[in-house]
Amino acid sequence: MIEAELKAVVRDPDALLRRLEGAHGPGRAEVYRDTYYDTPDAQLDAADRELRIREVTAEDGSRAVLLTFKDARVDEASGSKPEHETRVADGGAAHAIVRGLGHRPVLAFEKRCRTYAFEHRGRRMLATLVRVTELDGVFLEVETGAADARELPAALAAVRAVLAGLGISGEDLTTTPYTAAVTAARSRCQGK
């Protein structure tokens, strides 16, 4: 499946939160602890691929560990990628397996999220307000699934409609991955 996703910089987080809560009820507050892996010679990065282990803690104390592989972008304008994700029972074992296969952790960071699941135009949608602890500002991700590249334009049109309904314009969109933004922020801090 292709993750059809657009991300925006949020200009007025409080107003957007009110719109989301009004339309979709209270969101689910979660903390994501993401660790990205690559080969020692950075083959995944060079091929625009990602291997991630995400440890999720919800406000109710529930926990989940997700193993995710994202293939290279199939749409440059949105950055949408085929994504394969599965829940794993033991985070420590997942990290050990990935390391045992020759991958090394290259980046880890935390995201504080509030997620809203709903339907729009017959599609399951996910809207997530995101604060990355090392970055300034708040971001909004809206995503849905596309079975293949032929379905991607319709999926992205549905995502754009949701964004427009929330008052997010095309000028607010960004394709900069969090991984690149966090890496750049850390470089700036080290340069000071």
Give the Cα separation of 142 and 116 in Å (integer). 9
> Residue type at 129?
L
**Model pLDDT for residues 56-102, shown as the tens digit of each residue:** 999 999 999 999 999 999 999 999 999 999 999 999 999 999 999 99
Tokens of 49: 């691929």
Looking at the chain, the whole-number percentage of residues with pLDDT higher than 70 is 99
Give the Cα separation of 123 and 108 in Å (integer). 32
CB 15 within 8 A of CB 167: yes
Say whether pLDDT at 186 is over 80. Answer: yes
In this prediction, residue 129 carries a pLDDT of: 97
In this prediction, residue 189 carries a pLDDT of: 82
Query: Which of 138, 83, 139, 134 has its CA nearest to residue 109?
Result: 134
Give the Cα separation of 168 and 151 in Å (integer). 23
CB 5 within 8 A of CB 80: yes
CB 156 within 8 A of CB 80: yes
In this prediction, residue 188 carries a pLDDT of: 86
pTM given for the model: 0.93
CA 63, 133, 50: angle at the middle one, nearest 5?
65
The yes or no reply on domain 2-191 and CATH 2.60.120.620 is: no
Helix (H) or strand (E) holding 161: helix 152-165
Delimit the domains of the chain by residue range: 2-191
